[in-house]
Amino acid sequence: MTDDIIYLVLLGSCIGFGQFYRKIQNHDEKKWIGTAFGLLVVVMASGLHTVHMLFSYLVSALIIIYFNRKKCHLVSFGFMFGYLFFFRSVTYLGFQAPPGHSNMIQMILTLKLVGLAFEVNAAHLKSIGVGETKKNDEPGKELAKDVEVLTENEKALLKLDMMEIFHYSFNYVGVLTGPYFTYKTYRDAIYLPFSAKANCIQSTLEKLKVIPLYAGLFLLVSYIWPLNYATSNEFYEERSFVYRLMYVWPTFFIFRMRIYTGIMLSECVCTMAGLGAYPKACGNKSGHGPSLDCTPMISNPDDHEYDFETVRNIDVINTEKCWTFREAMKYWNMCVQYWMAMYVYKRFPSKKYRTMATLAVSAIWHGAYAGYYFCICAAPFYLPIEDLYVKLFIKEATGTKRQVLNVVCWISKFFAFSYMGIAFLLLTIEKIWFYYGSVYHVAYIMWAVMYGVGILIAKDRKAKARKAEKAKEKAAQQSGEK
């Protein structure tokens, strides 16, 4: 609870500071003030362990600026994830473990610096293409209108220096717990007029008003069904199999309420600072930002309605009410998912293994505990089962039958999340295996049986369909002969 109290105090300070920060007009002052306050937050959360973040920044910035830009993103990825592993392993070398929130700061810094290296790589490759086009074009003629040219942000990426990377790395917005945002989003918040025109206070209050509900539910349910009870002798010796199995429901509910509270508070830091504010007409997406060109809107910023979709990290309503596991995953930690999709999934050379590779990187990013791998890497084994049954029974169903099957799928979704999620919470392989053994690994066995039965049903339907098609062709043939 001490870590949670520190976390809440620091986040509250960051939210309040946004009222002052977004009103700063001078660009250089805004950078320095945001970075100074960010460093203060990092030092207050990490103390002397701040040296880890500074060292990570220094090495990664040198890689981005001076290494071959065709490969800098890969080198940065290797260094930052390697250092993240070292950071979490310092206790094995006899050093003091960093405070709890230092881990989250290092995690976010990893995404930002590796993401920045990928952005620089993309801008460099594009600049090569533009250069070749200019070289091959006839002298004295302008480039064709349909030829891509470098944007202002891409030009800035190619001119990055150590100080600019320092400002992006340690600006107070998102430095503690995210959400992840690109260098372009950060730069737009400094130089474009949108943050001064968006209704930042209203957007922040809309999020703040629901946070007490999530926090209250977290405290209430964790008091009634504490997680540490699931590791006690009484839990295993005196409680029934059904009780132990159903205990995953309140533990995952507690986890969700805690995550909802934390993520929405971190979003409030962004909205109060004005970071991530763009006109709605730009088609903004979580993590990515505008999907359409916002340049024409800069000249008349007062004429537009704004949103903060760029820094929207979670969609609580849709997470809770959507029917399937696959759909719910899309609404959870959306900015991090964007990072994983852009820089791991789409870049991974093997299409066959890219999903598993992405989930493995996600597990590594979350931490070194076995529970993260048990939880996150179990998802790709459950998804085909859900997809199969949705295709067999739900896809073509209508009316009341469809509603009933959707509810069954919803229950299955949250049971799967809860059953996998307890591994995320128990962390160590001994505790995880002991718990799963106490419930006889029932979910994994049930899912394996369901998959086998589903495959048999699918094959049987295909055989019947082929048989019916042959009968139809035979009848048509006989009718033609007559």
With beta carbons less than 8 A apart as the criterion, state whether 420 and 255 touch: no
Question: Which residue's entry shows tokens 């930052």?
Answer: 80
Distance CA 343, CA 354 (A): 11
Neighbours of 353 (CB within 10 A): 11
Strand partners of residue 307: 278
Please state, in angstroms and as integers, the Cα–Cα distance from residue 145 to each residue in 134, 292, 299, following that order: 13, 17, 22
Please state, in angstroms and as integers, the Cα–Cα distance from residue 168 to each residue in 42, 186, 293, 298, 474, following that order: 14, 7, 23, 22, 71
Angle between helices 442-481 and 399-426 (to 10 degrees): 150
Catalytic residue among 136, 366, 406, 441: 366
With beta carbons less than 8 A apart as the criterion, state whether 126 and 150 touch: yes
Residue 319: both structure tokens together: 């997470």
Distance CA 117, CA 125 (A): 12
Q: Of 423, 409, 443, 421, which Cα lies nearest the Cα of 327?
A: 409
Catalytic residue among 171, 284, 313, 333: 333
Concerning whether 333 is annotated as a catalytic residue, the answer is yes
Concerning whether 52 is annotated as a catalytic residue, the answer is no
Report the catalytic residues. Answer: 333, 366
